[in-house]
Amino acid sequence: MMKKNKIFIACDTTNILKLKKIIKSTHNTKLRIGYKFGLEFLNSKNGKYFISKLKKKIIFADLKIHDIPNTCASTVKAIRYLNANYLTIHISSGLQSLKAAKKYSGKTKLVGVTTLTSLDNKSLKEIGYNKSIKELVLHQAKLAKKAKLDAIVCSAQEVKIVKKVFKKEIITPGIRLLGDLIGDQKRIMTPKEAFQNGATSLVIGRSLTKGNIKKNIQKLIRELK
Protein backbone atom coordinates (compact mmCIF):
# COMPACT_ATOMS: atom_id res chain seq x y z
CA MET A 1 0.00 0.00 0.00
CA MET A 2 1.45 3.34 -1.03
CA LYS A 3 1.07 6.69 0.64
CA LYS A 4 -1.47 8.01 -1.83
CA ASN A 5 -3.72 4.97 -1.33
CA LYS A 6 -6.79 5.70 0.76
CA ILE A 7 -9.33 3.72 2.70
CA PHE A 8 -12.79 5.24 2.49
CA ILE A 9 -14.97 4.08 5.34
CA ALA A 10 -18.57 3.63 4.23
CA CYS A 11 -20.53 5.43 6.96
CA ASP A 12 -23.80 3.65 6.24
CA THR A 13 -25.91 4.77 9.18
CA THR A 14 -28.36 7.52 10.09
CA ASN A 15 -27.19 7.58 13.66
CA ILE A 16 -24.95 10.57 14.41
CA LEU A 17 -23.63 8.95 17.60
CA LYS A 18 -22.61 5.85 15.68
CA LEU A 19 -20.95 8.06 13.08
CA LYS A 20 -19.03 10.01 15.70
CA LYS A 21 -17.83 6.69 17.10
CA ILE A 22 -16.68 5.56 13.63
CA ILE A 23 -14.73 8.80 13.15
CA LYS A 24 -13.25 8.72 16.65
CA SER A 25 -12.07 5.13 16.31
CA THR A 26 -10.49 5.61 12.89
CA HIS A 27 -9.05 9.08 12.41
CA ASN A 28 -5.79 8.45 14.21
CA THR A 29 -4.39 5.43 12.44
CA LYS A 30 -1.47 4.78 10.12
CA LEU A 31 -3.88 4.60 7.20
CA ARG A 32 -5.06 7.48 5.03
CA ILE A 33 -8.70 7.46 5.93
CA GLY A 34 -11.57 9.17 4.14
CA TYR A 35 -15.27 9.05 5.03
CA LYS A 36 -17.85 7.98 2.50
CA PHE A 37 -21.43 9.11 3.01
CA GLY A 38 -24.03 7.37 0.92
CA LEU A 39 -27.71 7.77 0.24
CA GLU A 40 -28.66 6.61 3.73
CA PHE A 41 -26.72 9.26 5.62
CA LEU A 42 -27.11 12.01 3.01
CA ASN A 43 -30.88 11.62 3.12
CA SER A 44 -31.13 11.52 6.89
CA LYS A 45 -32.44 14.57 8.69
CA ASN A 46 -29.16 16.12 9.82
CA GLY A 47 -26.82 14.24 7.53
CA LYS A 48 -25.63 16.89 5.10
CA TYR A 49 -25.46 19.53 7.84
CA PHE A 50 -23.22 17.26 9.91
CA ILE A 51 -20.89 16.67 6.95
CA SER A 52 -20.69 20.39 6.18
CA LYS A 53 -19.31 20.94 9.70
CA LEU A 54 -16.62 18.24 9.50
CA LYS A 55 -13.17 19.80 9.33
CA LYS A 56 -9.91 18.44 7.96
CA LYS A 57 -11.41 15.15 6.81
CA ILE A 58 -11.44 13.60 3.36
CA ILE A 59 -15.12 13.63 2.43
CA PHE A 60 -16.61 11.31 -0.18
CA ALA A 61 -20.20 12.20 -1.03
CA ASP A 62 -21.62 9.06 -2.59
CA LEU A 63 -24.66 10.80 -4.00
CA LYS A 64 -24.82 8.46 -7.01
CA ILE A 65 -26.40 11.10 -9.24
CA HIS A 66 -28.38 9.51 -12.07
CA ASP A 67 -30.40 11.99 -14.09
CA ILE A 68 -30.71 14.16 -17.20
CA PRO A 69 -27.87 16.61 -18.00
CA ASN A 70 -29.64 19.72 -16.69
CA THR A 71 -30.49 18.08 -13.35
CA CYS A 72 -27.02 16.58 -13.00
CA ALA A 73 -25.43 20.00 -13.53
CA SER A 74 -27.71 21.78 -11.10
CA THR A 75 -27.30 19.05 -8.48
CA VAL A 76 -23.52 19.40 -8.64
CA LYS A 77 -23.93 23.17 -8.21
CA ALA A 78 -26.39 22.72 -5.34
CA ILE A 79 -24.10 20.39 -3.38
CA ARG A 80 -21.02 22.63 -3.67
CA TYR A 81 -21.47 23.96 -0.14
CA LEU A 82 -20.41 20.54 1.19
CA ASN A 83 -16.90 21.04 -0.20
CA ALA A 84 -16.68 17.29 -0.71
CA ASN A 85 -13.40 15.93 -2.02
CA TYR A 86 -15.24 13.27 -4.04
CA LEU A 87 -18.74 13.12 -5.54
CA THR A 88 -20.27 10.19 -7.44
CA ILE A 89 -22.41 10.02 -10.55
CA HIS A 90 -23.67 6.91 -12.36
CA ILE A 91 -21.88 6.55 -15.69
CA SER A 92 -25.13 5.11 -17.06
CA SER A 93 -26.57 8.64 -16.80
CA GLY A 94 -24.97 9.08 -20.24
CA LEU A 95 -22.10 11.06 -21.71
CA GLN A 96 -23.97 14.36 -21.87
CA SER A 97 -24.94 14.12 -18.20
CA LEU A 98 -21.35 13.31 -17.21
CA LYS A 99 -20.03 16.26 -19.17
CA ALA A 100 -22.67 18.58 -17.75
CA ALA A 101 -21.79 17.53 -14.19
CA LYS A 102 -18.05 17.82 -14.82
CA LYS A 103 -18.50 21.40 -15.95
CA TYR A 104 -19.49 22.44 -12.43
CA SER A 105 -17.63 20.03 -10.16
CA GLY A 106 -14.68 22.44 -9.60
CA LYS A 107 -12.17 21.13 -7.05
CA THR A 108 -14.40 18.19 -6.15
CA LYS A 109 -13.33 15.01 -7.88
CA LEU A 110 -16.16 13.68 -9.97
CA VAL A 111 -16.28 9.90 -9.65
CA GLY A 112 -18.06 7.71 -12.21
CA VAL A 113 -19.86 4.69 -10.81
CA THR A 114 -19.66 1.77 -13.24
CA THR A 115 -21.79 -1.26 -12.37
CA LEU A 116 -22.81 -1.86 -8.77
CA THR A 117 -20.81 -4.54 -6.99
CA SER A 118 -24.05 -6.18 -5.87
CA LEU A 119 -24.81 -7.16 -9.48
CA ASP A 120 -23.59 -10.21 -11.37
CA ASN A 121 -24.07 -11.38 -14.96
CA LYS A 122 -27.48 -12.83 -14.12
CA SER A 123 -28.66 -9.54 -12.64
CA LEU A 124 -27.51 -7.68 -15.77
CA LYS A 125 -29.66 -9.94 -17.96
CA GLU A 126 -32.57 -9.31 -15.63
CA ILE A 127 -32.19 -5.55 -16.13
CA GLY A 128 -32.00 -6.02 -19.88
CA TYR A 129 -28.31 -5.51 -20.59
CA ASN A 130 -26.74 -7.89 -23.09
CA LYS A 131 -23.11 -7.31 -22.22
CA SER A 132 -21.25 -9.26 -19.54
CA ILE A 133 -20.13 -7.37 -16.43
CA LYS A 134 -16.56 -7.17 -17.68
CA GLU A 135 -17.56 -5.86 -21.12
CA LEU A 136 -19.98 -3.36 -19.64
CA VAL A 137 -17.51 -2.01 -17.08
CA LEU A 138 -14.81 -1.63 -19.77
CA HIS A 139 -17.29 0.26 -21.92
CA GLN A 140 -18.25 2.49 -18.99
CA ALA A 141 -14.58 3.17 -18.22
CA LYS A 142 -14.08 4.44 -21.77
CA LEU A 143 -17.07 6.72 -21.37
CA ALA A 144 -15.69 8.05 -18.08
CA LYS A 145 -12.44 8.84 -19.85
CA LYS A 146 -14.29 10.63 -22.63
CA ALA A 147 -16.13 12.75 -20.08
CA LYS A 148 -12.80 13.48 -18.33
CA LEU A 149 -14.02 12.19 -14.98
CA ASP A 150 -11.47 12.21 -12.15
CA ALA A 151 -12.02 8.72 -10.80
CA ILE A 152 -13.96 5.52 -11.27
CA VAL A 153 -15.75 3.15 -8.92
CA CYS A 154 -15.68 -0.51 -9.94
CA SER A 155 -15.30 -3.87 -8.27
CA ALA A 156 -11.76 -5.05 -7.57
CA GLN A 157 -12.41 -7.85 -10.05
CA GLU A 158 -12.49 -5.33 -12.92
CA VAL A 159 -9.61 -3.08 -11.89
CA LYS A 160 -7.15 -4.69 -14.29
CA ILE A 161 -9.48 -4.15 -17.24
CA VAL A 162 -10.38 -0.60 -16.22
CA LYS A 163 -6.71 0.32 -15.77
CA LYS A 164 -6.07 -0.35 -19.45
CA VAL A 165 -8.29 2.54 -20.51
CA PHE A 166 -8.67 4.74 -17.42
CA LYS A 167 -5.44 6.09 -15.97
CA LYS A 168 -6.69 8.10 -13.02
CA GLU A 169 -8.00 7.02 -9.60
CA ILE A 170 -9.76 3.67 -9.31
CA ILE A 171 -11.84 3.17 -6.19
CA THR A 172 -13.17 -0.25 -5.30
CA PRO A 173 -16.00 -1.20 -2.94
CA GLY A 174 -17.07 -4.80 -2.37
CA ILE A 175 -14.14 -5.38 -0.01
CA ARG A 176 -14.18 -7.96 2.76
CA LEU A 177 -11.52 -8.69 5.35
CA LEU A 178 -10.53 -12.37 5.45
CA GLY A 179 -13.34 -14.54 6.79
CA ASP A 180 -16.00 -11.78 6.86
CA LEU A 181 -19.59 -12.21 5.68
CA ILE A 182 -20.32 -11.36 2.03
CA GLY A 183 -23.85 -10.06 2.72
CA ASP A 184 -25.57 -8.55 -0.33
CA GLN A 185 -22.35 -8.06 -2.31
CA LYS A 186 -21.47 -10.35 -5.20
CA ARG A 187 -18.15 -9.22 -6.69
CA ILE A 188 -15.89 -9.09 -3.66
CA MET A 189 -12.17 -9.23 -2.86
CA THR A 190 -9.82 -8.81 0.10
CA PRO A 191 -8.10 -5.43 0.60
CA LYS A 192 -4.67 -6.80 -0.19
CA GLU A 193 -5.79 -8.41 -3.45
CA ALA A 194 -7.63 -5.24 -4.47
CA PHE A 195 -4.49 -3.10 -4.07
CA GLN A 196 -2.40 -5.76 -5.80
CA ASN A 197 -4.78 -5.60 -8.75
CA GLY A 198 -4.16 -1.86 -8.99
CA ALA A 199 -6.94 -0.17 -7.02
CA THR A 200 -5.82 3.26 -5.81
CA SER A 201 -8.34 3.40 -2.96
CA LEU A 202 -10.82 1.07 -1.29
CA VAL A 203 -14.30 1.58 0.12
CA ILE A 204 -14.91 -0.60 3.15
CA GLY A 205 -18.13 -0.58 5.15
CA ARG A 206 -19.37 -3.43 7.22
CA SER A 207 -15.99 -5.21 7.52
CA LEU A 208 -14.80 -2.18 9.51
CA THR A 209 -17.94 -0.73 11.09
CA LYS A 210 -19.54 -3.89 12.45
CA GLY A 211 -18.26 -4.95 15.87
CA ASN A 212 -15.12 -3.46 17.38
CA ILE A 213 -13.98 -0.79 14.91
CA LYS A 214 -10.49 -0.32 16.37
CA LYS A 215 -9.84 -4.06 16.29
CA ASN A 216 -11.11 -4.22 12.70
CA ILE A 217 -8.72 -1.43 11.68
CA GLN A 218 -5.82 -3.32 13.27
CA LYS A 219 -6.90 -6.44 11.36
CA LEU A 220 -6.95 -4.42 8.14
CA ILE A 221 -3.45 -3.06 8.79
CA ARG A 222 -2.18 -6.61 9.46
CA GLU A 223 -3.80 -7.92 6.27
CA LEU A 224 -2.25 -5.16 4.18
CA LYS A 225 1.29 -5.98 5.30
Give the phi and the psi of residue 188 in degrees, each rounded to 5: -110, 170
Alpha helices (runs of H) in the chain, residue ranges in sequence order: 16-26, 39-42, 47-53, 69-78, 95-104, 121-127, 133-146, 159-165, 191-197, 206-209, 213-224
Rg value, the chain, Cα = 17
Selected binder of ligand C5P within 65, 137, 143, 204 (CB under 6 A): 204
Number of residues that bind ligand C5P (CB under 6 A): 16
CA-based nearest residue to 66, from 94, 41, 100: 94
Which residue in the list 64, 77, 134, 192 is annotated as catalytic?
Answer: 64
The reply to whether 64 belongs to the active site is: yes
Considering the complex, state which of residue 103 and residue 121 has its C-beta at the smaller distance from ligand C5P.
121
Phi-psi group of 104: left, alpha or beta (phi > 0 → left; psi -120 to 50 → alpha; rest → beta): alpha
Exactly one of 25, 26, 33, 38 binds ligand C5P (CB under 6 A); that residue is: 38
Residue-by-residue DSSP string for 23-62: HHHHTTSSS-EEEEE-HHHHTSTTHHHHHHH--S-EEEEE
203 binds ligand C5P (CB under 6 A): yes
Q: For ligand C5P, which stretch binds (CB under 6 A), given 51-59, 77-85, 89-97, 201-209?
A: 201-209
173: contact with ligand C5P by CB under 6 A: yes
Q: Is 206 in the site for ligand C5P (CB under 6 A)?
A: yes
Of 117, 157, 190, 197, which lies in the binding site for ligand C5P, with binding defined by CB under 6 A? 117
Q: Which residues are catalytic?
A: 64
> By the criterion CB under 6 A, which residues form the site for ligand C5P?
10, 12, 38, 113, 116-117, 153, 173-175, 185, 203-207
